[in-house]
Amino acid sequence: MVWIAFIVCGGALTYFSYYLCKEGVILSERAHISEGIIGMIFLAIATSFPEISTAATSVYFLDQVGLGYSDIIGSVLVNFMILLGVDYYSGKGRVLTEISRTNRLTGVFVAVFVSIVLGAAVIRSRGYALPSLMGIGVENLVIVLAYVAALRWLKDAENVPHDPAANKEPKWEIWSKFIVLLAIVMVLGALMAKVGEQLVLTTGLSQTFTGALLLGFATSLPEIIVSAAALRAGSLNMSVGNILGSNLFDVCIIPLLDALHRAPILGTLTKGQILVTGIALLMSVVFVAGSFIKRRTNTRLNWDTGAIFAIGFAGFVIVYFVR
């Protein structure tokens, strides 16, 4: 029964998240920004609302820190693995050589942010104290400030002129749809967290594996659908920007979880959860390397996206056996 609930809840979450993203695109058209920025900011944040709702419910209401944190990091892994599909369906040649400078920089920011999280988690796991403000670890305050600075920098780097033919639907109507859909997604995310808790109790799977693979995959379905739709529409940069922007935003959900918990959550992580974070860092480093190495190929599957997918797959297998 719990698996039926997981499938139904995941399907509904994907459906409403997709339409939430469509409204997000319409809103973004009024902001006079490029496709890469639309994907990196508007689509990415919209598709990450399931992660926010599921992880926040896991930490605050269910007191399942491992489940909530693993959902966030698992979503990062799944999102990176989507790049293999983008690479294959975009045609022959290395897709990472075709992305914009904004997307390459976003990949660098993801690697830096995950490095901060991993470093702080390792330090705290060894019993060393790091400063905190009102229960929020200093590392998470740094991430929030860096995220705001990164968004401003990336937005200023790729502005485009306003299109007078953009959607003319009244703003109040767009906002009304967006808010209603957002509320539905938040409720479904909370239900998904409860289903995840039941999966842990009934299957004997660890919180890390359940959160990273099952919840991570379920809450990443909107990213998969939206990135595929953007690629089909001929916008490679919007497709990749959605993936990278979602990862960047997902890492920045961790400070929210810190605020919802009674103590810095990076000090409560298990070895398995730290391992998953290290896998996310390795995948982000391979992405950065692939995006800056300009050697071209004529194949549909390439070493960089292939390595990213293989690392993620191996990571899930390893985490399954780490209790």
Q: Provide the number of structural domains found in the chain.
A: 1
Q: Is residue 165 part of a domain?
A: no
Res. 31 pLDDT band, cuts 50 70 90: low
Query: Helix (H, G, I), strand (E, B), or coil: what is residue 118?
Result: helix
Cα angle 213, 219, 223; round to 5: 110
Q: What does the pLDDT read at residue 160? A: 45
Q: What is the pLDDT of residues 169-184, one digit of tens each?
A: 777 787 788 788 878 8
Q: What is the pLDDT of residues 109-140, one digit of tens each?
A: 999 999 999 999 999 999 888 888 777 889 99
Contacts of 207 (CB under 8 A, 6+ apart): 64, 66, 67, 70, 200
Query: Helix (H, G, I), strand (E, B), or coil: what is residue 301?
Result: coil
Contacts of 300 (CB under 8 A, 6+ apart): 87, 88, 91, 92
| Rounded Cα distance, 215 and 103, in Å | 26
| Rounded Cα distance, 196 and 41, in Å | 28
Residue 17 clears pLDDT 80, i.e. is over it: no
Q: Is residue 163 part of a domain?
A: no
Sign of torsion, CA 10 190 186 210? negative
CATH code (residue 250): 1.20.1420.30
**Residues 264, 140 contacting (CB under 8 angstroms):** yes
Please give the mean pLDDT across all residues of the chain: 84
Q: Is residue 15 part of a domain?
A: yes
Q: What is the pLDDT of residues 198-229, one digit of tens each?
A: 887 787 788 888 888 888 888 887 788 778 87
**Residues 116, 257 contacting (CB under 8 angstroms):** no
Contacts of 25 (CB under 8 A, 6+ apart): 38, 42, 43
Res. 83 pLDDT band, cuts 50 70 90: very high
**Residues 320, 279 contacting (CB under 8 angstroms):** no
Query: How far is residue 263 from each of residues 160, 236, 253, 267, measured CA to CA in Å?
Result: 43, 41, 16, 8
Q: Tokens 């529409």, residue?
A: 233
79: containing domain? 2-158+170-321
The CB-side HSE value for 102 (13 A sphere, CA atoms) comes to: 27
Cβ atoms within 10 A of the Cβ of 102, count? 24
Element (H, E) at 195: helix 171-203
Q: What does the pLDDT read at residue 187? A: 80
Q: Is residue 305 part of a domain?
A: yes
Q: Tokens 């935003």, residue?
A: 249
Q: Is residue 114 part of a domain?
A: yes
pTM: 0.84
Q: What are phi and psi of 48, to 5 degrees?
A: -95, -5
Between 16 and 27, name the one with better pLDDT: 16
Cα angle 26, 30, 36; round to 5: 75
What DSSP character marks residue 159?
B
